Amino acid sequence: MKYVFASIASLALAHPSFGQDITAEIGLSTLGLYAAPVVEMNENINIRIPLYFGSQNYSYSENGTTVDGKVTFESAGVMVDYYPTGSGFRLSGGLSAGGYSFKATTASLEFEGTTYTSDFNLNIKQDKNIAPVFALGYVRPLGQSGWAILAEAGARVTHLTATVSGQENLTAADKNAFDTDFNEFNDELTKNNLIPFITIGASFRF
């Protein structure tokens, strides 16, 4: 799938009939570091290839228990931006490939006041690798410099899901109780079928 997105991006940027203006956007998002080439199709329509990447280590301690983990951001997409007035406010829709995941190790996990002790490996990630995306954004030019500031809020139409290993070291009774509690935890994750995001940044029109 990554080769499909790469092909679409290269075609969009290489075809001169797509428009005279090419813009580069960069910024920071709750989905990771953000960068996107943008090609103007006409006064109201742009094609944007958003890329999100990066990673962040995570360590948390409470009551003698330490959780060591890492969040990884890695995704790309194809978005159509519609500017109703030709500039400023935009409506966007498209598809994304990839997502972000959280992997952690810990000596204990707690659900509903019950603590389970073992060598757990926890993984929380986006359920679907390919997901629809919708967003609202605003781009404000800074005079005639070619620079602009931007903000965007949207959501991917999918949910998070969790997997875990290490519960096999529990007693049979504790393992059954753990599996029940963990399944309930996963059910709570899947109730929200949207993964929201916010992006702020800047752009430059070449």
Query: Per-residue pLDDT for the chain (206 aa), expressed as one digit of tens each?
Result: 444 444 444 544 444 444 458 999 999 999 999 999 999 999 999 999 999 999 999 888 876 678 899 999 999 999 999 999 988 999 999 999 999 899 999 999 988 888 999 999 999 999 889 999 999 999 999 998 999 999 999 999 999 999 999 999 999 999 999 999 999 999 998 888 999 999 999 999 98
The amino acid sitting at 146 is G
- What's the rounded Cα separation, in Å, for the pair 116 and 120? 9
- What's the rounded Cα separation, in Å, for the pair 35 and 97? 15
- What's the rounded Cα separation, in Å, for the pair 147 and 206? 9
Burial per residue of 69-106, b for 16 or more beta-carbon CB atoms within 10 angstroms, e otherwise: bebbbbbbbbbebebeeeeeebebebbbbbbbbbbbeb
DSSP-assigned letter for residue 30: T
pLDDT on residue 16: 43
pLDDT on residue 58: 85
pLDDT on residue 135: 98
- Whether the CB-CB separation of 166 and 122 falls below 8 Å is answered with no
Does residue 178 sit in helix, strand or coil?
helix
Burial per residue of 126-138, b for 16 or more beta-carbon CB atoms within 10 angstroms, e otherwise: beeeebebebebe
* DSSP per-residue codes, 76-101: EEEEEEE-TTSSSEEEEEEEEEEEEE
Taking alpha carbons only, the member of 134, 142, 135, 155 closest to residue 202 is 142
Does residue 4 sit in helix, strand or coil?
helix
Taking alpha carbons only, the member of 52, 73, 51 closest to residue 6 is 51
